[in-house]
């Protein structure tokens, strides 16, 4: 009977795929357990003698001025935009990287790559020219 064999192949592949990540998941559980045990053991070992001075925010030993969650000027939000754009672009490199030199692709994909890199470079040059890459 050929049909069951045909059906089992994809299931087996999927099972293999998820097995490696379930091992990773198990390790994550071990990690969480380790942290939990460490924190619990720490609670048993250390003294607890809070005083108002100790619980004060530490700012060089003088009494803190104003709130900790103060307004700050985030000077690099443009970097953040740039990063998101570029990172999303470069993620596409990975699937392409595994096949680009396969027989039958060769020169075509190489030209494609230069177009892709060209876009990135032009973007970077544009940002540079706009003065985004220098600290304001």
Partner 1 sequence: MNDVLDVALRLLVVFGVFMVLPLVIGQTEHKVMAHMQGRLGPMYAGGFHGWAQLVADGVKFAQKEDVVPANADRRIFQLAPAVALLPYLLVLVAIPIGPGEGAVGEVVDAGIFFVLAVMGVGVLGSLMAGWASANKFSLLGGLRTAAQLLAYELPMLLAAASVAMAAGTVSLPGIVDAFEWWWLPWQIVGALVFFVAGLAELQRPPFDMPVADSEIIFGAYTEYTGLRFALFLLAEYAGIVVLCGLTTVLFLGGWHGPFGAEGLGWVWTLLKTAVLAFIVIWLRVSYPRLREDQLQKLAWTTLVPLALAQIALTGIVKVVIQ
CA 18/CA 10 separation, integer angstroms: 12
- Is 27 a binding residue for partner 1 by CB under 8 A? The answer is yes
The residue within the footprint of partner 1, chosen from 34, 122, 126, 130 (CB under 8 A), is 34
Do the beta carbons of residue 83 and residue 117 sit within 8 Å?
Answer: no
Q: Is the dihedral of CA 59, 62, 63, 67 positive or negative?
A: negative
The residue within the footprint of partner 1, chosen from 12, 14, 15, 30 (CB under 8 A), is 30
The backbone torsions φ and ψ at residue 47, rounded to the nearest 5 degrees and listed phi first, read -75, 155
- Is 98 a binding residue for partner 1 by CB under 8 A? The answer is yes
The backbone torsions φ and ψ at residue 70, rounded to the nearest 5 degrees and listed phi first, read -85, 165
* Minimum gap (Å) between residue 14 Cβ and partner 1: 12
| Residues 41-80 interacting with partner 1 (rule: CB under 8 A) | 41-43, 45-50, 52, 54-60, 64, 66-70, 72, 74, 76, 79-80
Cβ distance to partner 1 smaller for residue 3 or 71: 71
The residue within the footprint of partner 1, chosen from 2, 5, 20, 62 (CB under 8 A), is 20
- Distant-in-sequence contacts of 120-124, Cβ < 8 A, 24+ apart: 120/86, 120/89, 120/90, 123/85, 123/86, 124/86
CA–CA distances in Å: residue 132 to residues 57, 71, 72, 123: 35, 22, 19, 11
* Minimum gap (Å) between residue 83 Cβ and partner 1: 4
The residue within the footprint of partner 1, chosen from 11, 107, 115, 129 (CB under 8 A), is 107
* Minimum gap (Å) between residue 3 Cβ and partner 1: 28
């Amino acid at each position: 009977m050929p049909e069951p064999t045909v059906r089992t192949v994809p299931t087996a592949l999927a099972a293999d795929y998820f097995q490696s990540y379930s091992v990773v998941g198990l390790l994550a559980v071990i990690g969480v357990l380790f942290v939990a045990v460490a924190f619990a053991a720490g609670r048993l070992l250390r003294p607890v003698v809070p005083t108002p001075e100790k619980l004060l925010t530490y700012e060089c030993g003088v009494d803190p001025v104003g709130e900790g969650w103060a307004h700050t000027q985030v000077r690099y939000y443009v970097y953040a935009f740039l990063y998101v754009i570029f990172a999303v672009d470069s993620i596409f490199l990975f699937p392409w990287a595994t096949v680009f030199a396969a027989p039958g692709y060769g020169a075509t994909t190489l030209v494609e790559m230069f177009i892709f890199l060209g876009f990135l470079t032009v973007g970077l040059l544009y940002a540079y020219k706009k003065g985004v890459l220098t600290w304001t």
